[in-house]
Amino acid sequence: MYPAMFDPMYIMMIIPALLLALYAQVKVKSTFERYGAVRSAKGITAEAVSRRLLDSFGLGNVAIERVSGNFTDHYDPRSRKLRLSDSVGSSSSIAAVGVAAHEVGHAIQDKEGYAPLKFRNSLVPVTNFASSAAMPFFFLGILAGLAPLVKLGIVLFSCAVVFQLVTLPVEFDASDRALKLLSGTGILSQSEIRGAKSVLSAAALTYVAATLMAVMQLAYLVLRSRGRRN
């Protein structure tokens, strides 16, 4: 466990982000349960909706697979596969259809070369390393009195923050595309679109919370390093 966990300044700084993350989790769960219990008027399963939307954009080469777990739905740009959880893929609820269309939105972003998505994808290898190495480097530098390691920790964690920041427009755009697709194709009625929007908005809040958490942690590292110099 990192020393920051015992630092009152760290605890005070991340409380707002923790509260938002907790609210986001509750909001996602309650909203998904609410609209997950409402069958769409068309009665088309989320998997069938995904296939229809993908094909309409010339994405017949994008395979749809099932994946275990809850809220594990995602589009993999490396393998060009859209993966839906069992609870979503086989459901014809408003919530499931909205989530599936959101993932189709990512597939369309990939096809069109949507710049924020391309940038985020390019950051994945760096972010995977940076997010795991940043804190060890930072606190090793603090304990050993080595300023270069402290700075390296901050730089690495900044990469993780940039990744979170660029994720926001990617997710918001995918949701916007999803709602337009569902409305334009008539898969969901206008009243059902409002339900799907509520589900996707709740999901987006989790990304906002994660970004706020990352930003506050970076701010803590910067202030902690300055306090060390002083």
pTM for the model stands at 0.89
Q: Is 47 a catalytic residue?
A: no
Mention every residue, 6+ apart, whose C-beta is less than 8 A from residue 9: 220, 223, 224
Q: What is the pLDDT of residue 1?
A: 44
Catalytic residue among 103, 112, 171, 192: 103
Stated as kind and residue range, the H or E segment containing 66 is strand 63-67
**Terminal C-alpha separation, the chain:** 25
Q: What is the pLDDT along the chain (230 residues), one digit of tens a residue?
A: 455 556 777 788 888 999 999 999 999 999 999 999 999 999 999 999 999 999 999 999 999 999 998 889 999 999 999 999 999 999 999 999 999 999 999 999 999 999 999 999 999 999 999 989 999 999 899 888 889 999 999 999 999 999 999 999 999 999 999 999 999 999 999 999 999 999 999 999 999 999 999 999 999 999 888 865 54
